[in-house]
Structure 1
Amino acid sequence: MGQEIPHSSFTESDFQHYREMLKEESHLLKQWFDEERFVNEHPKAGCELEAWLIDQQGVPAPVNVECLEALGSDQASPELSQFNIELNFDPVNLNEDAFSQIHKELVTGWQGLREAARRFDADCVCTGILQTVRN
């Protein structure tokens, strides 16, 4: 995710490359299981938040690069297009205050993102598909 795909038709060579990469990744995953690299500890949960950047009229604002630089967080990354940002939060142990911890991180991250967006006369909205998107 987070990478632009410049075209929508693919050659046999593209499919072959995909199969090779999938085989390589599957081999790596098997190796990690064999080496017991996955931690078997207390259950954890994490989350991510995807946001659209919009202008004052609710139209997508192409300022994600600028917002990411202003935000200066390694937990933020571009998502799909120049109008989107993804915030990734650290996993927390699933205990009695897990959801409070997650909520606190979400609020802090969201406030930081909105402050960064406002520097570029933009704001943020969480939605699957922005209703004001136009061709």
Structure 2
Amino acid sequence: MGLSIQQSEFTPEEFDRFAAKVRTDLTALTRLLDRPGFGEGDSSIGAEVEFYIVNPDLRVQPINTDIAASVQDPQLTVELNRFNLEYNLSPQAFKGAPFARTEQQLLEAMQRINQHAAPLNGELVPIGILPTLRQSDMGAKVMTDEPRYHALSNALVQQRGEPFSIHIGGNDVIDLEADDVTMEGATTSFQLHWRVPAHRFADYFNAVQLVTPIALALASNSPSLFGHHLWDETRIALFKQSVDSRSPNHRTWKHPPRVYYGNSWESSKAAFKPE
């Protein structure tokens, strides 16, 4: 999400300045990618893990800011909803047993964080969608009180112009609407970061795109939402629809959704370059 901000409302002039800074950043990134030797070094992996926080009854416990304040670990951050936390693992050299080392680091972090969560009747649960989550657990009341999250929700709601529509098929179809983006916080994930040679970025990216569907099929762990038996991996549809800011009234609008798989292969690191 980037650096913290101090406000959630912005003027048109501030948006214009922000857009100009983004273009400047992209230009700087292009120059870095073109610099001889940029990105060279030993391969490594990192990861970030998102958690639910539950109480002893396995219901969501909205205490992320309390836990973060108690732990005081810069690698631990709050997430969109008050019952979510994220831990950013330290990079590991991609040799030997990097995944075992990553697992050990994660288990140690969870144990340490849970020591601070326990006095608050909380415990971390790393799972895609919590089976005991209820629709009444969602809504504006559960959004973490940080300006950046309010700004994100306000901007997407304004773009869409009407409530977000959630429709997911399965054995027990679900249809509902949301007035904010907190439904996105119902989905948590384990995200790997892989440092690769810059000049071979496209090769690695395309290879990962090929194997991702297989890994996803093997790791599916969110077959339900609010008691509805849906997709084996419901997070895909929920994440896409919960932040889809495209207006349903613009039927001919070809702009892609904020969350999608892309539509082509990469051919070079030029994929980073601004148009």
TM-score interval for Structure 1 and Structure 2 normalised by the shorter chain: 0.7 to 0.9
1:39 Cα deviation from its structure 2 partner: 3.0
Q: How far apart in 2 are the matches of 1:58 and 1:6?
A: 33
1:134 is aligned to 2:133: no
1:46 is aligned to 2:46: yes
2:30 is matched with 30
- 1:1-135 aligned at under 5 Å gives the runs 1=1, 16-36=16-36, 38-130=38-130, 131-132=133-134, 133-135=137-139
Residues 7-41 of structure 1 show CA distances to partners (whole Å, capped at 9, x for unaligned) of 8xx98667645532321221221232244574311
1:129 Cα deviation from its structure 2 partner: 3.4
1:48 Cα deviation from its structure 2 partner: 1.0
How many residues matched? 133
RMSD: 2.8
* SS at structure 1 position matched to 2:83: strand
Q: How far apart in 2 are the matches of 1:80 and 1:28?
A: 30
1:80 Cα deviation from its structure 2 partner: 1.5
Describe the shift of the 1:86–1:36 C-alpha distance in structure 2 as closer, same or farther (beyond 3 A).
farther
* SS at structure 1 position matched to 2:73: coil
1:122 Cα deviation from its structure 2 partner: 1.0
Describe the shift of the 1:36–1:59 C-alpha distance in structure 2 as closer, same or farther (beyond 3 A).
farther
In terms of mean alpha carbon deviation, does 43-52 or 60-69 score higher? 60-69
* SS at structure 1 position matched to 2:58: coil
Residues 81-129 of structure 1 show CA distances to partners (whole Å, capped at 9, x for unaligned) of 2221111011111111212211110110111122221121111112333
Give the TM-score of the pair, scaled to structure 2: 0.42
Q: How far apart in 2 are the matches of 1:48 and 1:83?
A: 17
Counting aligned pairs with the same residue, the percent is: 22
Q: How far apart in 1 are the matches of 2:21 and 2:29?
A: 12
Q: How far apart in 1 are the matches of 2:37 and 2:68?
A: 32
Describe the shift of the 1:38–1:77 C-alpha distance in structure 2 as closer, same or farther (beyond 3 A).
farther
1:33 aligned partner, one-letter code: L
2:45 aligned partner, one-letter code: A
1:102 aligned partner, one-letter code: T
Q: Structure 2: 5+ residue runs without aligned partners? A: 140-275
Q: How far apart in 1 are the matches of 2:46 and 2:89?
A: 6
* SS at structure 2 position matched to 1:91: strand
In terms of mean alpha carbon deviation, does 18-27 or 32-41 score higher? 32-41
In terms of mean alpha carbon deviation, does 124-133 or 75-84 score higher? 124-133
In terms of mean alpha carbon deviation, does 49-58 or 31-40 score higher? 31-40
Q: How far apart in 1 are the matches of 2:84 and 2:36?
A: 36
1:42 Cα deviation from its structure 2 partner: 1.4
2:99 aligned partner, one-letter code: F
